[in-house]
Amino acid sequence: MTNLPANVISLAALYNRPRVFRDRAHAGAILADMLARYRGGGAIVLGIPAGGVPVAAVLAESLRLPLDVAVVSKLTLPWNTEAGYGALAFDGTLRLNEALVEQAGLTEAQIEQGAARTRDKVARRVQQWRGERPFPDVTTCTAILVDDGLASGFTMLVAIEALRHQQAKEIVVAVPTAHAESAQRVARLVETLYCPNLREGPRFAVAEAYETWIDVDEESVRQLLETHTGSS
């Protein structure tokens, strides 16, 4: 196993293995066991939509913690909506992957158009899922950021930056699966990173950690948040 920072908590039995989770709910349950120390304590679980919310919902319910959402969305290439060259968060935090921007040959106009589209998407999702509720006060509690996996880790980096702008007391990242290099980058910026299924190698896909992998739509996110928000 790659030498990892001391603040990365993983499971040796799941190292470099594919298909270790039945689905996102199963992954959330395994994470809940790893984060048992936070059960019923002063923490809040923040799911990154869309795929991170089903994981976060199980984690929050198991640990008897409130659930909320940290809306972050990728800026995607004009010709490939699956590939992101940056990310934008709920508070306006924007970060570009400069290497990918240069490699793709994106113009300033294309970047501005992509940022505008993403800004509209983020605003719509915040309104849909959070309404007029202010973002939770994270200055006095641990914020547990949850996604369904880290490939490049870029979206998570922007989420962390946004929480720092909110003056979060402590940031913990909880993801079921991650590329080891991305886990190292993210871990440098937070207090602790929990990831049961670390993997290495030139080829990595989050979906390969799951036996069942389906896209999570916005209505499913809304229902999960409606069911779990404010649970304790």
Contact 49, 125 (CB under 8 A): yes
- Residue 1 pLDDT grade (very low, low, confident, very high; cuts 50, 70, 90): low
Instruction: Find the range with the poorest average confidence among 11-20, 72-81, 160-169.
Output: 72-81
**pLDDT at position 159:** 98
**pLDDT at position 2:** 63
Average pLDDT value for residue range 198-226? 95
pLDDT above 90 covers what percent of the chain? 87
Q: Where are the domains of the chain?
A: 8-71+138-228, 74-129
- Residue 82 pLDDT grade (very low, low, confident, very high; cuts 50, 70, 90): confident
- Residue 78 pLDDT grade (very low, low, confident, very high; cuts 50, 70, 90): confident
Domain topology for 74-129: Ybab; Chain: A; (3.30.1310)
Compute the distance between CA of residue 146 and CA of residue 52 in angstroms, rounded to an integer. Answer: 6
Q: What is the DSSP string of 175-207?
A: -SEEEHHHHHHHHTTSSEEE-SEEE-SS---GG
- Residue 185 pLDDT grade (very low, low, confident, very high; cuts 50, 70, 90): very high
Average pLDDT value for residue range 95-124? 93
**pLDDT at position 232:** 37
153-164 residue pLDDT tens: 999 999 999 999
CATH of 8-71+138-228 among 2.30.30.90, 3.40.50.2020, 3.40.600.10, 1.10.1740.10 = 3.40.50.2020
For the chain, the helix, strand and coil percentages under 3-state DSSP, each to the nearest 5: 40, 20, 40
pTM above 0.85?
Answer: yes
